[in-house]
Structure 1
Amino acid sequence: MFGMLVNGVIGIAMAALVAIADALVHWRVYNAAGVWRRGLRGNERMDRLLRLTLERRGHRVLLARTVPGHGSADELVVGPGGVWLVHNEAWQPDAEISHHGGRLFIDGRTQSKLVRGLTERAEAAARLISERAGTPVKVVPVLAVHGGHLPRRTPFAADGITFAPPLRLVRWIRRNPSAEYSAEEVEAIARAAVHALPIGGRTMTAAA
C-alpha cells in the first residue's frame, strides 16, 4: 500500500513537472512571437520613442521621408549633436545577429545589400540636405533592431553602421555627437531636410 502511494505521488509530481516544462516552452514561443510581431511595427514604436525622448531635448524628428533614388528614411533625426538617418529592421525571433571583422552577419550570412543600401541612402540624404542648407551636413546611418538574438554588448558597429535595440540606440545618439549645432542651426537643417527629402513611407517587412 505504501509503495503504491509513493508511486502515485511520484507520478503526480512527474506529471506536474511535465506540465510546467510544457507551459514554459509555450510561454517562450509566445514571447518570441510577440517580439516578432512588435518588430513588424518597429518604425511606429521608434517614431513614438524618438518623439518622447529626443524631441524633448532640442532635436527635430522627421518621419517617413524619401531619399530620391535611394528609397525611404524611416526617421531622420536632427539635433545639437548631428544628423542621423534611422532605419528599422525586424528579424525572426531566433535569428542570430552578430558581427565579425567589422562586418554584420545574420545567421552566419553577410548583409551586404542591406548595409550598402543604408550607407548610400545616408550619403545621398547628406548631399541633398547640404545643397539645400548651403552648408556641409553629415548624415550618420544607424539601425534599430527589432527581434532576433543580439550580442550582449550593444550598441555595436559593423560595416560603418551602429546597430542596437531602440532605447539603447536613442542613448547612443545622445552620447555620440558627430557635429555641434546651435538651436538655430538645428532648425535650419531640419527645414532644409523637409524640402530636400519629400514625404514618403514604406511598410516594414521582415528581413530575409
Structure 2
Amino acid sequence: MQPDEKYTGSSPQWWYEKFWREDAPNRRKSRYVKAAVGFVIGVALALRFGMSGVAPLFGVLLAGLVAAGDWLLDWRSFRATAVWRGARKGEVITAKLLRRSLGRLGYTVLDGRAIRGQASIDHLVIGPGGLWIIDNESWSPDTEIACYAGRLFFGEKYGTKTAKSLVETSEAFAELLSRETRIPVTITPLLAVHCGLLPKGGIVVAEGLTLLKPRLAAKVIKSADHVALNAEQIELLTRTAARELHRA
C-alpha cells in the first residue's frame, strides 16, 4: 500500500489541533442546543415561582450561563493539552505553582539543576519538610497512567524506565548534598503530569515515584507532617545545591 502523503510527517499534536478546529461547528451546535434547554428551564422555573413578568429574561440569563459554562469546559479541555502540543512549557507552569504555594512557608525552589554527566531535573525543592525533585512530562490526552500490581503503566507500556530514572536521580542528588553538607538527607521524586489520564484524585504512586497533576505538587509537599530541617539547614542545603549543581 502506498503511503498517503497527507499523513506523512504529521505529528499526533498536529492532527489533534486540526481535528479540534474542524470540530468547532459541532461544538457550537451542541452549545446552542444546551443554551436552548437552559432557556426553557429558566422560563419554566420563573413561571413555577410566580415570576411570569421576568420569565423570558430569566430564561435568557440561564441560557447565557449554560453557554458560558460549556465554552469554559471546552477551553479548559483544550488548554490542558497545551504542554503536550508544545504551546506551553511544563517547567514554567510548575515553577510558578510551587513558588506561589511554598514561597512563604520557608521553602526554596531551584529550577533546572544537574549533576554534570549524570542526571538533571526541572525543580529541586528544599524546605522544613525535607527535599523533593520534580520533573515535568506530558503524554497524549488519551494515555491512561495507572499502577497495576505495583507496576507503573503509560497506556499499555511499562513505566519502569521513567520511574527508575527519577528514583536514581533523587538518590544521586541526595548523596551529593549529604556529602557536601554533612546533613543526611533523602529526596522524594515527583513527576508533574501535564497531559494524560490520571485516576480520580490526580495521583499515582508506583515503583518509588509519585505522579500527579502539577497543581497537587505543592499540596503533597506541604502534607509532610514532620519538621525535617531547620532554617540553618535549609539555607546550607540551598547554598550548596546552588553551588554544586549545574544549571541544566
1:86-126 superposed Cα distances (whole Å, 9 cap, x missing partner): 11111111111111122211112111221111111111101
Cα separation, partners in 2 of 1:87 and 1:178, compared to 1, 3 Å: farther
Shift of 1:178: 7.2
- Whichever residue aligns with residue 215 of structure 2, its letter is L
- Counterpart pick for 1:107 among 148, 155, 168: 155
- Structure 1 residue 35 and structure 2 residue 83: aligned? no
CA contact (8 A) 1:97 1:106 kept: yes
Counterpart of 2:180, as a letter, is R
Tell me, yes or no, if structure 1 residue 20 matches structure 2 residue 29.
yes
SS at match of 2:96: helix
Structure 1: unaligned runs, 5 residues or longer? 1-16, 201-208
Unmatched 5+ stretches in structure 2: 1-25, 34-70
Aligned to 1:116: 164
SS at match of 2:111: strand
Taking CA–CA contacts closer than 8 Å with sequence separation of 6 or more, which of the two structures ends up with the larger relative contact order? 1
Tell me the equivalent position of 1:150: 198
Change (3 A) 1:18 1:128: closer
Deviations 1:39-70 (A, max 9, x none): 54111000111111112210010010012333
What residue in structure 2 maps to residue 138 of structure 1?
186
> For residues 62 and 98 of structure 1, what CA distance do their matches in structure 2 show?
29
Q: Larger deviation: 107-116 or 37-46? A: 37-46
- Which has the larger displacement, 134-143 or 76-85? 134-143
- Whether 1:193 aligns to 2:246 is no
1:53 aligns to what SS in structure 2?
helix
User: What is the CA RMSD across the aligned residues, in angstroms?
Assistant: 2.6
- 1:129-163 Cα shifts (integer Å, max 9, x gaps): 11111221111111111011110133231111111
Question: What's the CA shift string for 1:149-181, capped at 9, x where partnerless?
Answer: 110133231111111101112101110357611
Contact 2:112 2:120 in 1 (8 A): yes
C-alpha distance in 2, partners of 1:177/1:84?
15
Change in Cα spacing, 1:177 to 1:71, as seen in structure 2 (3 Å) is farther
- Bigger-Rg structure (1/2): 2
CA contact (8 A) 1:67 1:73 kept: no
Q: Which residue among 100, 113, 126 is the counterpart of 1:78?
A: 126
TM normalised by structure 1 equals 0.79
